[in-house]
Chains A and B, each alone.
Chain A
Amino acid sequence: MNGEASRKLLRILIVDDEAIVRDSLGAWFRQDGHHVELAPNAKDALRQTAAGRYDLAFLDIKMPGMDGLELQARLAEADPELTIVLMTAYASVDTAVKAMKAGAYDYIVKPFDPDDLSLLVSARPRRARCAPRTRGCARAWRARPRRRCCSAARPRCGTSSSWWRASPRRTRRC
């Protein structure tokens, strides 16, 4: 990764117990030119994040052992600037709300459109916004106004994320 590409190319971690989801997402983002690493469970993911930093992490919520929500908390604790996207195969408003409150960048429901993921990745908040890498910045980031969906991720509101429509608060904001 050189300096030119560093603006575009990201280090992405994909954590999912389902091999096909993991592998296909890996192939997709590699085609986009990102650096992708895969983890089949939370334990491996924690080991990998301890070894090196990532810009973006896609976490499956339902996994044997430690689930995605718990992993999200552990990863955010370790690296507050990590952008976390949660994935689920079975949407429920409860888990979505829980994930967003815990500071997730987004919450996507399988089966998803890979193009939406690419959009999500390119529209992700710049790390530069939080110049001082402090915990306070992370808290401010978590407490930021949630208006992202109206810009880059807007199309998802009408397509794959049915939970989005189910949440009146979101719809109103959109």
Chain B
Amino acid sequence: LWLADQWALDRQRAQLERLVGLSADRTAETIHRAAHDGMLRNDAEGVRRIIENIGAQEGIDRVRIYNKEGRVRVSSRRAEEGTLVDKGSSECSACHAGVQPKAGLDREDRIRMLQATDGSRVLGIITPIYNEPACTSCHVHPASQRVLGVLDVRLSMAQADAALRASERQLQYGLFLTGLAVLGASFLLLWGFVLRPVKRLRRALERAGAGDLSARVPVRSADEMGELARSWNDTTGELQRAREELSLMNRTLEERVQEKTHQLEQTHHRMVVVEKMASLGKLAAVVAHEINNPLAGIRTYARVLRRQFGAEAGAPSAEQARETDRILEMVDSEAGRCGDIVRNLLAFSRDTGARFDEAELAPVIERCRLLLHHQAEMLGVALETRVADELPKLVCDQAQVQQMLLALAMNALEATPEGGRVTIGARPDPEGIALFVADTGSGIPAEHLDRIFEPFFTTKEAGKGVGLGLAVVYGIVNRHHGRIDVESEPGRGTTFTARLPLAQPQAESNASSEPARRSAPLPDATTGGAA
């Protein structure tokens, strides 16, 4: 637009200059003709008047005539009359540029543009005054002289330039307004067809990005933007459907995981109970031995005393009284021993419903020793306990910890030959408390070490064990968020070390009783043990 504008302006300027040139030519011709008669008559005053009158007209800068030598003969500005015009000046250069002055000139050659002292432009046109027959008849001009002088007319370009400037300004305004209009129209078009749909699309994209796939972009046109919106809608629709399906599947999966977890908990609980029953079965022989021995003694002594005092009605002698006292003391202590054994057995068999409480470990370990010491004695194995002094209390399910220790110790006793040693103990550990059962038995072959905690893995002959002992031990340690390590050297012995943290996570101690309550159809361990 700016270039077109400039081109138009240039054309206009050229046109205007041509018109002004034409007008100058006419004016010069008019002056020439008007002054012709005066010049013929050599009426210098008349010619001057004509020139002054014309030169006084608005738009005419000056009019002057100078002779062949360049001396100004007549001028609208009287002051310069008689002065000599330099032939090198712009007025003269048209003819006198070369060595020989030109005789005839085109109009374009005669016209020149000058700069006035005030900065405005002035258009000058020179018209040669040729020697005519009329001139030679009365004048002194020789016939050979072709050009007698020059009429120099200068027109001010001020008005034309002003018009040109106004025109330029108008064009610039026009240009500015047109530009503005084009810009506005372009923006409106861009807004309507591109920006607004893109903005809607972007908003929909943002909502989709934030997770809201229900956002749809209105389809308002059949063009590319419309096509884009439609395909976007289709895509989000597909995505939404896929996501709904996925979340449905997720929910189903979660439910199934929960269900399986629950089943697993129940199975674990059952496994713990089954293992306990198996342990109880093994313990029964030991316990029967432990109880029946004192009972046999007590019964026999009771009969001894009855026979003694029933037959001999007389007062017992001092020696008899002492003997009786000794017997009764023995009976008393043995009856107490029976009570202890039964109490320990019950404490072990009772299903406490998986309760986590703060507990001292020394009594738990002592109970294990009491339950097993007779068996150890029978097997000729030394059973020792080693509990560190100032052992901190442990938040645990006491019954399960005892079951764990008992299972490990029973295994250890079975694996230890006569003369060996089994140690049950506890010591502080960086992770909490380390409970350990060590034996000097046959050890576990390296190829079995990886599998000993698997359920139903057993190396015992059929009917001697179900292979749940260590699996249950592992489960119990796991439930206490601890870990169990086993070090074994065949022929040298085995040490199981369960490291349990002192405290359980809050959620566990609160929720721990839940699975136990839910698993209703479990055999009652207490009555099962008694039966």
Contact = CB atoms under 8 A, between A and B. Distances in A.
Contacts of B379: 64
Q: Looking at chain B's contact residues, is the secondary structure mostly helix, strand, loop, or mixed? A: helix
A110 B303 contact: no
B297 A90 contact: no
Contact of A114 (B289, B300, B308, B380): B300
Nearest to A17: B377
Contacts of A111: 292, 295-296, 298-299
A18 B298 CA distance: 12
Interface in B275-301: 284-285, 288-301
Interface string A138-154: 00000000000000000
B330 interface: yes
A64 B265 CA distance: 42
Given A20-B298, A20-B330, A110 B292 contact: yes
Contacts of A4: none
Contacts of A18: 293-294, 297
Nearest to B303: A114
Interface residues of A, number: 26
Contacts of A17: 377
A112 B293 CA distance: 10
Interface in B31-88: none
A134 B302 CA distance: 41
A110 B297 CA distance: 9
A24 B306 CA distance: 13
Nearest to A67: B378
A64 B327 CA distance: 25
B295 A24 contact: no
B334 interface: yes
Given A110-B292, A111-B295, A112-B296, A20 B380 contact: no
Contacts of B377: 17, 64
B301 A89 contact: no
Interface in A77-127: 87, 89-90, 109-115
Nearest to B337: A20
A113 B289 contact: no
A115 B299 contact: no
Among A19, A23, A25, A89: residue with most chain B CB under 10 A: A89
Contacts of B285: 90
Interface string B315-332: 000000000000100110
B303 A115 contact: yes
A27 interface: yes
Contacts of B460: none
A63 B378 CA distance: 6
B304 A27 contact: yes
Contacts of B294: 18, 20
Contacts of A21: 293, 296-297, 300
Among B288, B293, B377: residue with most chain A CB under 10 A: B293
A62 interface: yes
A20 to B, nearest CB: 3
A6 interface: no
Among B289, B290, B297: residue with most chain A CB under 10 A: B297
B307 interface: yes
A64 B373 CA distance: 12
Interface string A60-78: 0011110000000000000
Nearest to B418: A65
A2 interface: no
Interface string B353-396: 00000000000000000000000011110000000000000000
Contact of B289 (A20, A28, A90): A90
Given A64-B378, A89-B288, A112 B297 contact: no
Given A18-B293, A89-B288, A114 B299 contact: yes
Given A18-B294, A65-B380, A110-B295, A24 B301 contact: yes
The 3 A-B residue pairs with the shortest CB-CB distance, nearest first, are A20-B297, A24-B300, A89-B292
Given A27-B301, A63-B378, A111-B296, 16 more contacts: A20-B293, A20-B301, A21-B297, A23-B330, A24-B327, A31-B304, A31-B308, A64-B377, A64-B379, A65-B380, A87-B296, A90-B285, A109-B292, A110-B292, A111-B292, A112-B296
24 contacts: A20-B294, A20-B297, A20-B298, A20-B330, A21-B293, A21-B296, A21-B300, A23-B297, A23-B330, A24-B298, A25-B300, A27-B304, A31-B307, A31-B308, A64-B377, A65-B380, A87-B296, A89-B292, A89-B296, A90-B284, A90-B288, A90-B289, A110-B292, A111-B292
